[in-house]
Structure 1
Amino acid sequence: MQGVERGDRELLDAEALVGHLVPAGSMFAFLAGHRRNLFPDGEFEDLFPSGKGRPSIPASVMASILVLQTLHDLSDRETAEAARCDLRWKVATGMALDDKGFDPSTLVYWRKRLATSGRPHRINDAVRTVVEETGILRGRRKRAVDSTILADAVATQDTITQLISAIRRVDRQVPGAAGQIAKVCTGHDYSRPDKPRIDWDDPAARDALVSALVNDANALVAALADTELEGDAEFALALLALVAGQDAEPAEGSDGTDGRWRIARKVAPDRVVSTVDPDARHTRKSPENRRDGYRAHVAAEPETGIVTDEKVTTAAGTENSDPAVAEEFLDAEDGKRAWYGDSAYGTGDLRGGIDDAGHEAVIKPKPLRAPVEGGFTVDDFTVDDFTVDDFTVDDFTVDEQAGTVTCPNDITRPISRTRVATFGALCRACSLRAQCTTSKTGRKIVLHPRDDLLRQARRDWADKPELRESYRTFRPNVERVISQIASRGGRRLKLRYLGTGKNNAWLKRRTAALNLRNLIGRGLTHTAGAWTLAT
């Protein structure tokens, strides 16, 4: 049954005895005075439908603890210890000085209850309600978007470790798999989690082991192919098939039918990096910054730093790209907005979505790349950062109304139904060919369906200094928000949970805590039944 906070104080009530030691204006002091207004019991009643049994920890107390845990980036054990021993936590949560606290598993229990409920992000929703009531975003029509990579909670596994782990997972989760493993898998003793003992300095020994493990995986998948599976068992078998296929390729001189395999000489585009957390992925924020983990996407109001939307996704796949998630943020907003983003968000699809919704895009255009260094681009001018380079000969000119593209040598070609203009053989005798293309078949121009918006964006960036000034003023502010989300005390955070769902829930709590801290710094209080700000 649901527990509720008592109206009267205990003899050793921490707030009464040592509350004066907690700094005014801190998160601890705010929760001490307003946790029941922020997280009323009625908002959590559905988590405990039964009126029988031992009362739970009051919702206002546990919600406050989850906010503090996420804000301070503590493990469950560290959180339980803080609630038991830290006077600030006792004041914030209304505990008595001699309260022994709770077992760390209680936090797992509450997160699971929230995750399986109809409103899994109600802590975030409660803070959003406060933001709305204060009116801090009223009349503010700017939104800045950005993303960051968050390291996953597991170690990246090599191919051999993944194959062994995936087969052991099938053994645990698929009914009848143990018998099939004993029957068809001969390359390793899969009752042991450690790596096989071979001469790892011997390439032949390593290749023989890889071949044996891949053959075992393929044989086990084939043996269980006709078995009707569902849930975890179905996923375990699918994961084994994926792991066996993503990192292995036929050995040199083999087509794979002879059972000879080797570790692939390239990385699969959507490679699973760990069977412990199959959602984690290889990714990179830049060519030099390669990491494993998840991508956290954020939309924020740049002048106040209030986060208006957030989402954790896997770090690979076009559906999880920066512009794709930004379109989701766009759809969630009411009213006209100006959207700020760096060149990663400068795609035709996102610009089209912004334009169709009647919003404004203040997004740095993606730089144009010429096939020949210093040669002609698809535009009739080029943009170099914030300046325009003038050319004596115009580059390609697109006429959407006529459906044509004209090259620098004044040759015009039609745009096909697939948005391609092919110059082909016309390039052979062209005097400007050396400045245009190195292709033997001539220049081909592929246009995005929203090429008009892309082209106009590059023109506006060059012709409107006020647009660039607005970008410089407001877009960088979201980087501060990203820094607050992804780090604490100068230390880069590492995710503590497995899977996209749990890590997305963590991000929702994290942004809720940061928004609440932001509001507290502006004098947030609850008076006469309403949330107000001092500034």
Structure 2
Amino acid sequence: MSFDAKRTYNVPDQTAQVARAIFPKGNPVMRLHDDLHSVVADRDFADLFPTRGRPAEAPVRLALATLLQFMEGLTDRQAADAVRTRIDWKYLLCLELTDVGFDHTVLSEFRTRLLAHGAEGRLFDAILELARGRGLLKGGGRQRSDSTHVLGAMRAMSRLEVVGETLCHALNALATAAPDWLRAHTTPAWVDRYGLRASEFRLPKSEAGRRAWALQTGVDGFALLALARADGAPPALRDAAALETLRQVWIQNFLLTEHGPEGPQVDWRANDQVPPSGRYIGSPYDVEARYATKGATVWSGYKVHLTETCDDGTPNLITNVETTNAAVSDDAVTATIHAALDARGLLPTTHIADTGFVNSALFVDARERYGVDLVGPTRGDRQWQAQADAGFAARDFAIDFAQQRATCPAGKVSQSWTLALARGTTPVIKIKFSVADCRACPLRPQCTRSTSARRAITIRPEAQHEALRIGRAREQTAEFAVEYARRAGIEGTIAQGVRSARLRRTPYFGRAKTHLAHLMTAAAMNLVRLLRWLADEPKAQTRHRAFARLHPLTA
């Protein structure tokens, strides 16, 4: 399919006449044409299509139909039907009343082209540029971020289900790629074990039976991997994605012990021997999805991190979208958000986020690298002295970084100052005091419960330590409370995405497709907000329940 650069787009007279008769004042879809008709152009997608071949569907129409699809939360079939039947869609797409539109698969092909050419953010960026061109978006000011969970398209499975379904998946893939080879190397008994979906109600109920089933599955999986690598196996099998997934899942769930009389022995890993959730593959159908918990929420899939503007004189527009697997912590994404905003020329002066997005290192990095004031509550001191508020916490010690020493509340100077790594990755400074000083100190019960009567504290490097001290002091001010209160608005944005586009559920396998869906959702939400702003519709205000309104001072 080739690119046609000669198309022009004008609303046909009959389409315009009927649309205006039905919607005398227009509707949001029609206003999208009238007010924002220059969102995208065919030339913006020229690199996605070859120059020769049968002309493709108009990229502008596919792009706009995709935006409308995510704006209204429609499936591909529903969107294609809307192109054929809805007068406002025909008006926006400049189609004749009799135009039959296109097959629903064209929308999926268009998204695939975007992914294949690394253009998944093109529509999102085009809308930001449109807002920037109208003076409604610029760098500086305030922005806020938050994240929410995204359920993966696969079902949650136990470990036994994972290994069983992974082997089933590999066998089904090989049955399509090399049916004769697979038939020659398997028996009907394999069909009995792996012909149906692996499910708990089909698995043995006793612990001994479940272990025996797991070990037999492990043996069969290792045998299949060996056969696929052996001489004479079809070359295509060596690079089969399903076999690579099988190999990884088997490493995570089985152990090959020393050779016995019948060859290597397969053993089932104990639960504490499997990789952490950040690396564990929980489904062969989506190897990038991960298991995670946050408070009472438990899910397998992804996270989406949204950042939006929040200044009073402009519409609140989403400026960045990040999609990660569910096990990635929020503070691992903060620097990525700043880098992405910097690349777009949209870095804020003040970035407001909750505790999950901030730490001492990020306070320093945001200020020194990007000139951004990162605002958010710091994590509390979890040592018993700080928790009880009746002892001497690390904050009560005077730190002299130049002399590399600390002075305790009793006036004693530290004995050692050691650079170290917390959890193997985070630079810290470990400070220890003299056993003799601590043992004789009358304040010892308020300072340490150590049996050796020796106090030790752990602090961050100087820049981080100072940023943390300033941050905690700022949290106690009324100005911080007012500034941080702005963060709550991003929760309304997430709620809008959940209601309008099922933001917390993805119909796609893999992070790339899920991220594309999140970008399209954010682009559609930005379009709606731009249209409302241009129609002079005021921003929504926080709503309070009827009872809370009876006492406005506490609402």
TM-score range relative to shorter protein:
0.7 to 0.9
The match for 1:523 among 534, 543, 549 is 534
Structure 1 residues 445 and 506: alpha-carbon distance in aligned structure 2, compared to 1, 3 A threshold: same
CA drift of 1:100 comes to: 2.7
Work out which of the residue numbers 255, 264, 273 in structure 1 matches 2:271. 264
**2:320 partner amino acid:** D
Counterpart-to-counterpart distance in 2, 1:91 and 1:241: 53
Q: How does 1:178-217 map to 2 (within 5 A)?
A: 178=182, 182=186, 189-195=193-199, 200-217=204-221
Instruction: Judge conservation of contact 2:140–2:350 (CA < 8 Å) in 1.
Output: no
User: Contact 1:148–1:486 at 8 Å: present in 2 too?
Assistant: no
Shift of 1:443: 4.2
* Corresponding position of 2:249: 243
Distance 1:400-1:62 versus aligned 2 partners, 3 A rule? same
Question: Could you tell me how far 1:130 is from its partner in structure 2?
Answer: 0.5
Q: How does 1:273-288 map to 2 (within 5 A)?
A: 273-284=282-293, 286-288=294-296
Opposite residue 467 of structure 2, the aligned amino acid is L
> Which structure shows the bigger proportion of residues in helix conformation?
2
- The worse-fitting range, judged by mean Cα deviation, of 145-154 and 480-489 is 480-489
Change (3 A) 1:499 1:199: closer
Deviation at 1:496, TM superposition (A): 1.8
Query: How far did residue 431 of structure 1 move?
Result: 4.5
1:485: Cα distance to partner? 2.6
TM-score scaled by structure 1? Answer: 0.81
- State the 1:237 CA deviation: 3.5
Residue of structure 2 equivalent to 1:385: none
Taking structure 2 as the reference length, the TM-score comes to: 0.79
Structure-to-structure mapping, 1:16-165, within 5 angstroms: 16-22=17-23, 24=25, 26-33=27-34, 37-53=38-54, 55-117=55-117, 119-138=119-138, 140-165=140-165
Tell me the residue number matched to 1:367. 380
Q: CA deviation at 1:42?
A: 1.7
Alpha-carbon distance change, 445 to 62 in structure 1, aligned in 2, over 3 angstroms: same
After superposition, residues 374-393 of structure 1 pair within 5 angstroms as: 374=388, 375-376=390-391, 378-380=393-395
Superposition deviation, residue 90 in structure 1: 2.7
Using the alignment, how far apart are the partners of 1:436 and 1:23 within structure 2? 76
The CA deviation at 1:109 is 0.9
Tell me by how many angstroms 1:266 deviates.
Answer: 8.2
Given that 2:146 and 2:307 are in contact with CA atoms closer than 8 Å, whether structure 1 keeps it comes out as: yes
Amino acid at match of 2:465: D
Counterpart residue type for residue 502 of structure 1: K
CA contact (8 A) 2:139 2:347 kept: no
C-alpha displacement at 1:22, in angstroms? 3.6
1:129–1:9 distance in 2 versus 1, CA, 3 Å: closer
What is the CA–CA distance in structure 1 between the aligned matches of 2:381 and 2:331, rounded to whole Å? 24
8 Å CA contact 1:123–1:509 kept in 2: the answer is yes
Q: 2:523 aligns with which of 509, 512, 515?
A: 512
Shift of 1:465: 2.8
Q: Which of 294, 303, 307 is equivalent to 2:302?
A: 294
Are 2:319 and 1:321 equivalent residues in the alignment? Answer: no
Residue of 470, 473, 480 corresponding to 1:456: 470
C-alpha distance 43-259 of structure 1, shift in aligned 2 (>3 A): closer
- Between 1:78-87 and 1:260-269, the stretch displaced more is 260-269
Could you tell me how far apart the structure 1 residues matched to 2:443 and 2:516 are? 56
Aligned residues: 501
Percent identity of equivalent pairs: 23
1:366-419, Cα deviation, whole Å (9 max, x unpaired) = 222123540546443xxxxxxxxxxxxxx3332222222333443332421322
Structure 2 stretches of 5 or more lacking a match? 258-263, 421-428, 539-555
Match of 2:481 in 1: 468
Question: What amino acid is aligned across from residue 317 of structure 2 in structure 1?
Answer: I
Cα distance in 1 between the residues matched to 2:378 and 2:256: 43
Distance in 2, matches of 1:196 and 1:179, equals 27
Query: Could you tell me how far apart the structure 1 residues matched to 2:533 and 2:164 are?
Result: 54
Which residue among 353, 356, 359 is the counterpart of 1:344?
356
